[in-house]
Amino acid sequence: MSADNEAGAMPGLMMRTPLLIRQIAERAEGLFAGRELVGVTAVGVERSTYGRVVERARALASALSELGIGRGDRVATFGWNSIRHLELYLAVPSMGAVLHTLNIRLFEDDLRYIVGHAEDRMIFLDASLAQVMPRFEGVEHEVLMPDAEATREGALDYEELISRGDRGFEFPELDEDSAAAICFTSGTTGRPKGVVYSHRSAVLHTLLVNQADTLGLREHDAVLPVVPMFHVNAWGIPYAAAMAGSKLVLPGPKLDPASLAQLIERERVTIAAGVPTIWQGIAQLQPAPSLRSVERIICGGSAAPESMIRLYDEQFGVPIVHAWGMTETSPLASVSRVPPGFGDGDEAYALRATQGRVVPLIDFRVDADSGGELEVRGPTVARSYFRDDSEAGKFTSDGWLRTGDVAEIAGDAFIKLVDRTKDLVKSGGEWISSVQLENEIMAHPDVLEAAVIAVADERWGERPCACVVRREGATLDDEGLRAFLADHVARWWIPEQIHFIVEVPKTSVGKFDKKVLRAQLAEGKL
């Protein structure tokens, strides 16, 4: 029963216009047409404006319709943070299709699964990635985005599609609950899981990203999302920037610290967002870069160390704002801002290093029975995965998402993550499934058992550490194992630390006891 049918309830008399991504595009076009956008490519720098981008998004939407793409069809991207990617962010959902951003760092086998599972009909790929992207079965069209000199047999040309499209194309009316985008996230077990955002959830997320005490993008800002557009929609920043009219600075494939520091200085970036690895890298540059234009850095995806927050204050005078979220939460779910009365001493730093307080519309609770697992709910939180019930237990019967993060509550409702229940390693902002890596290691004929645990790493946040039991008489060494893994997993998954041990400790029910392994490693007993 809806609220206004409830006995005695008085109906509100406000309009029910749907919340649609189209409105973000139309606002940018109508209010901020001349606002500049910058995109770095493999071969140079491209400049555009919101007016041009939305006009091209209209042309693209009409060209896609001509190609037979309709409501609910999945359209994938395989690209860097670029102006063309932004055009797709606006065009694909606004015409009623579903944007599926593929994570270019995934191993081929997982990519194949994801493309098949989502039933992607088209893929837009950067020319600079033409050699890297596999051919996928079932995909009807590939479209090459010319960010570099490269060709791909059979692919359509992006610019040609735009030039044949209708720049006056009107985006259709849609149901706000219809799917706008789909992102896959690493499952603890089994295959990656699809999270399907609706227009409504995307617009609400954009509004909450732009609260003054969350990320708070404004028209006067120049915003650099280093976080990839292929990983949870770059934390929603492309939409938040378009809604606010901020200049967007898109770094393309140039993600090394020196290139990013130059870009920040040249484009006078005021807000930059990325995982801790990026900021650790920039802090180590010699000579130290100028970050004079930067008003704040948004850091999340992995824990931002307190030492790094202090260092940025002391060395650069730039505050780091720590945020937490996950693919299932759109992703922004909490932000750490210091409340009045805390000053800027040790107490304030301790709070800033927590994951902060929930953003508006998100409820949270900590489940004491499960050892302190953090649970959240709200209109920007997934209620199930796309065509996959293998982790149905992540959603509680009373409507909450189990995050897999273990939290303590500090001060007034500040979430402090202290552990993780999900068996994953987060390296440089991207996931490594320890279970999958263990299986690959155990596929070596000389290996009897293997357990993978996360170890803290200054540069990458975490790295996998493999604890391996050899079969009797086997002589396998680390080099041999690494050479074997090179054919089976992405290069960045290969562990630097490999320990050969006598046996993997087990729990009472015979599962690998990784707590014991972690303790042994910490005590130097491995």
Q: Binding of ligand AMP at residue 214 (CB under 6 A)?
A: no
Whether the ω angle into residue 495 lies within 30 degrees of 0, i.e. cis, is: no
Residue 48 or 302 having the CB closest to ligand AMP: 302
Distance separating alpha carbons of residues 405 and 373, to the nearest angstrom:
6
Distance separating alpha carbons of residues 131 and 134, to the nearest angstrom:
8
Q: Binding of ligand AMP at residue 229 (CB under 6 A)?
A: no
Distance separating alpha carbons of residues 424 and 6, to the nearest angstrom:
45
Given 101, 185, 327, 380, the catalytic residue = 185
Q: Binding of ligand AMP at residue 303 (CB under 6 A)?
A: yes
Shortest Cβ 376–ligand AMP spacing (Å): 10
Distance separating alpha carbons of residues 25 and 197, to the nearest angstrom:
17
Distance separating alpha carbons of residues 375 and 373, to the nearest angstrom:
6
Q: Binding of ligand AMP at residue 403 (CB under 6 A)?
A: yes
Residue 174 or 303 having the CB closest to ligand AMP: 303
CB burial of 35-57 (b: ≥16 within 10 Å; e: otherwise) equals bebbbbbbeeebebbbebbbbbb
Q: Is 254 a catalytic residue?
A: no
Q: Which stretch binds ligand AMP (CB under 6 A): 124-132, 361-369, 400-408, 500-508?
A: 400-408
Residue 77 or 433 having the CB closest to ligand AMP: 433
Residue 79 or 404 having the CB closest to ligand AMP: 404
Q: Is 380 a catalytic residue?
A: no
Given 431, 440, 460, 493, the catalytic residue = 431
Q: Binding of ligand AMP at residue 355 (CB under 6 A)?
A: yes
Q: Is 460 a catalytic residue?
A: no
Distance separating alpha carbons of residues 143 and 120, to the nearest angstrom:
13
Return the closest-CA partner of residue 514 out of 428, 403, 434.
434
SS (H, E, C) 366-410: EEHHHCCEEEEECCCCCCCCCCCCCCHHHECCCCCEEEEEEEEEE
Residue from 405, 423, 438, 462 in contact with ligand AMP (CB under 6 A)? 405
Q: Binding of ligand AMP at residue 232 (CB under 6 A)?
A: yes
Q: Binding of ligand AMP at residue 62 (CB under 6 A)?
A: no
CA dihedral 332, 337, 339, 341 (to 10 degrees): 170
Residue from 52, 141, 218, 420 in contact with ligand AMP (CB under 6 A)? 420
Shortest Cβ 429–ligand AMP spacing (Å): 8
CB atoms within 10 A of CB 153: 7
Distance separating alpha carbons of residues 94 and 59, to the nearest angstrom:
12
Q: Binding of ligand AMP at residue 300 (CB under 6 A)?
A: yes
Q: Which stretch binds ligand AMP (CB under 6 A): 197-205, 218-226, 337-345, 398-406?
A: 398-406
CB atoms within 10 A of CB 377: 19
At 37, is the secondary structure helix, strand, or coil? strand
Distance separating alpha carbons of residues 128 and 405, to the nearest angstrom:
36
Residue 96 or 300 having the CB closest to ligand AMP: 300
Q: Binding of ligand AMP at residue 425 (CB under 6 A)?
A: no
Residue 62 or 277 having the CB closest to ligand AMP: 277
- Site size toward ligand AMP, by CB under 6 A: 19
CB atoms within 10 A of CB 286: 6
Distance separating alpha carbons of residues 426 and 454, to the nearest angstrom:
8
Residue from 301, 378, 428, 464 in contact with ligand AMP (CB under 6 A)? 301
Residue 121 or 422 having the CB closest to ligand AMP: 422
Residue 49 or 434 having the CB closest to ligand AMP: 434
Q: Binding of ligand AMP at residue 185 (CB under 6 A)?
A: yes
What phi-psi label fits residue 235: left (phi over 0), alpha (psi between -120 and 50 degrees) or beta?
left
Strand partners of residue 143:
124, 156
Distance separating alpha carbons of residues 174 and 190, to the nearest angstrom:
34
Q: Binding of ligand AMP at residue 253 (CB under 6 A)?
A: no
Q: Binding of ligand AMP at residue 198 (CB under 6 A)?
A: no
| Exposed / middle / buried, residue 399 (Cβ in 10 Å: 0-12, 13-18, 19+) | exposed
Q: Residue 426 in contact with residue 494, Cβ under 8 Å?
A: no
Q: Which stretch binds ligand AMP (CB under 6 A): 32-40, 295-303, 345-353, 446-454?
A: 295-303
Return the closest-CA partner of residue 100 out of 197, 18, 188.
197
Span 312-351, contacts to ligand AMP by CB under 6 A: 322, 324, 326-327, 331
Q: Binding of ligand AMP at residue 417 (CB under 6 A)?
A: yes
Q: Which stretch binds ligand AMP (CB under 6 A): 77-85, 298-306, 363-371, 449-457?
A: 298-306
Contact string (CB under 6 A) for ligand AMP, positions 120-159, x = contact = ----------------------------------------
Q: Is 426 a catalytic residue?
A: yes
Q: Binding of ligand AMP at residue 280 (CB under 6 A)?
A: no
Q: Residue 217 in contact with residue 205, Cβ under 8 Å?
A: no
Q: Binding of ligand AMP at residue 436 (CB under 6 A)?
A: no
Given 193, 394, 426, 514, the catalytic residue = 426
Residue 279 or 484 having the CB closest to ligand AMP: 279
Q: How many helices (H) and strands (E) does the chain have?
A: 14, 25
Shortest Cβ 64–ligand AMP spacing (Å): 28
Q: Binding of ligand AMP at residue 302 (CB under 6 A)?
A: yes
Q: Which residues bind ligand AMP (CB under 6 A)?
A: 185, 232, 300-303, 322, 324, 326-327, 331, 355, 403-405, 417, 420, 426, 431
**Among all residues, which ones are annotated catalytic?**
185, 328, 426, 431
